Amino acid sequence: MDMMMDIHELDEGEVFRRLGTLDSGLTVAEAEARLDKYGPNRIQEIKRKPLILLFAENLYNVLAVLLWIAGALSFLIGSYQLGAAIISVILINAIFSFWQEYEAEKATEALKRILPVMATVIRDGSETEIPAHELVPGDLILLKEGDIVPADARIVEAHELKVDASTLTGESKPVRKVSHRIRKVRNYIEADNIVFAGTQVTSGTGRAIVFATAGKTEFSRIASMTQELKEEPSPLQMQISHAARIISIIAVLLGLTLLAVNIYIVKLPIYMALIFAIGLMVANVPEGLLPSVTLALAASARKMARQNALVKRLSSVETLGSTTIICTDKTGTLTRGEMTVRKIWVPYKTVEVTGSGYTPEGEFLHRGKPVSHRDIREIKLLFRAASFCNDSELVHDHEGWRVTGDPTEGALLVAAEKIGFDREAELKRMPRITELPFDSTRKSMSSIHEAGDGRVAYVKGAPRKIIRLSKWISVDGKVRALDDAERERINRIHDEVASRGLRVLAFAYRELPEDLESYTPEEVERDLVLVGMAAMYDPPRDGVGEAVIQCKMAGIRIIMITGDYGLTAEAIARNWG
C-alpha cells in the first residue's frame, strides 16, 4: 500500500506502468498468478468468540456471581424455592442480554454485504464479468451507473463520472471523479481520481485500475477497526461492580457478626446460628437489581433503534449519559438542506430575492422596487456562470418542484429560473467542453464552454478566492480593471452579508486564449472577470433550537462542523444559541 500513496499524482500512462498492466488489461495467466500472490478480494474477518462464550459472559459478571453465591447459600440452608428463583433470574437475564447483543452484532455484519458479488473487468483485451473476490491489483475495471466499486482503484478514464462515497466518508453528496493526476491534496484519500471499495457510482462511466484489494482497501481497514475494537467497561458496569463488592462485604460482615452473636451471646447451636447468618447474607443480595438494570437499558436501546441508532452492547446506552461534547454537521443535519437565494450582489447593487423553497416564483428587488432591464442583463450574466458551473437539476413532476443534486447548486438554478434565464437553451448555444470539479482544497469550480469561435471558462467559488483571482470586473455591462482597494471594498461587502448567517458564493468568467492547451486550475482560474455574488439561506430543522437548549442545560457542549465561511458559521451558531 505504501508504494501506492502517491498514485493520485501520476498521469494515466505512469499508472499503467506502476501497476504492471496494459490498456488491454491483465492476461488470464497473470491474473491467476497475482491472485495466488495477493489472495482473494474479501474482507478479512477476525475470529470471533463462539456464541456459547458470548452467552456465558452474561453469567459471570460481578452481580451475576453475587447472585450465584446467594443461590448456592439458599440451597445450602434448605431454601430451595428462593435458590431456584435466584438462578432463574440469572438465566432469564443472561438470555435477554445475549439476544439483544446478538441482534446488534448481526446488524454490524451488514458491512460485508456492501461489497459487490460480481465485477466487470478487461482481461486479454476482452470485457468479462468475474466474481469480485477474484479481483487483483492491476485489474482494469469498468464502472457504470449503479455499480458498487469492488476495490480501491485509480481512475484512468472518466465520462461525467460521479460516486457516492457516503459509506466511507459519511458525505451524502456524490463526488465528481476525474482521470487526470492531482497533486495538491494531503493524501490519496482526498483525491478525486481515486475510487474506493464499497462506494457507489451514481452517474457516468469510467475505467479504473485496481491498486488495493482485500485487507489493503480503505473499506476493509474500517471493517477491521470495528472487529478489533477492544471493549472497555462502561461507567455503569464499573459502578455496578463497585456496588456489588460493597454489598458483598456488608453482607459477609453482617453474616459473620450475626453468627458470632448467636453462638457466643444467644448460645444457639452452631447449625442454627449458621442458618440465620446465611439467611441474613442472602437477604442483603438485591436479586431484582440485575433484571431491573437490563430491562431499563433494553427499553432505551429499543427506543434508540426506532430512531435508527444501533446499540451493540446494552451497557453502552448508559455511557451516552456521560456525553460532554457533540460534534455535528450543519447542512442537512441542523438545517433542512433546502437552500434559497436571498440576495444578489452585482457591482455595485444589492438585490433582494423573494420566494422560498424550490418553486421558481419570486421577484428581484432593488431598494424595494423591481430591478431595471439593465440590471437584469447583469444578473443574467451572473446566473449564466451559476447555471453553467452546476451539476444539479431542477425537476418539476407530479410532486411539485424538487432538486436532484447539491442543495446549493439547486438554489442557484431556482433563482436563475426566477430571473428568466433559460439554462437548456443557453447550454445548447454554448455547450460544455469540460469541467474542473469543485474540491475543498482550492474552493472553486470551473466549467469551460464553446463561445462562437472561442472558449469561455465560468468560475464559482469562495468569494475571497474568486475576488483575489479576478483582474477585471463587469460593471453595467462594461469590463474594467479591478485594483486592490476595490477588492478590499468588495471583501467588506462579502463579510457584511456573511455575518448575517448567509452562505455566499462569487462568480466570474474568463475568455480563454486560443493557445491554451491544458485545462488545469492553474491555467484556467486566473485573470478572471468578476460578475457578482449570491447569498443563500438554509433554514434550520424544526426543533434544533430546543435541542440546543436541552443540551446546554445538560452541560453538553455542541461543536458545529461546516465548510462555511467563518463569519457565516459564527452568525448561524449565535442564532441557534
Name all contacts of 480-486 with Cβ < 8 Å and 24+ positions apart. 482/530
Question: Is 329 labeled as catalytic in the residue annotation?
Answer: yes
Nearest residue to 99 (alpha-carbon basis) of 51, 62, 49: 51
CA–CA distance, 362 with 414 (Å, rounded to integer): 10
Q: Is the four-CA dihedral 143, 148, 151, 155 of positive or negative sign? A: positive
| DSSP per position, 81-133 | HHHHHHHHHHHHHHHHHHHHHHHHHHHHTTHHHHS-SEEEEEETTEEEEEEGG
Nearest residue to 152 (alpha-carbon basis) of 171, 168, 166: 168
Nearest residue to 335 (alpha-carbon basis) of 112, 100, 502, 99: 502
Burial class (CB in 10 A: 0-12, 13-18, 19+), 367: exposed
Q: Given the DSSP bridges, would you call strands 400-404 and 200-212 parallel, antiparallel or unpaired? A: unpaired
CA–CA distance, 269 with 73 (Å, rounded to integer): 19
- From first CA to last CA, the distance across the chain in angstroms is 46
Choose the catalytic residue: 11, 36, 329, 453: 329
8 A C-beta contact, residue 431 and residue 417: no
CA–CA distance, 211 with 152 (Å, rounded to integer): 6
8 A C-beta contact, residue 319 and residue 234: yes
Q: Is the four-CA dihedral 291, 293, 294, 295 of positive or negative sign? A: positive
**Catalytic center residues:** 329
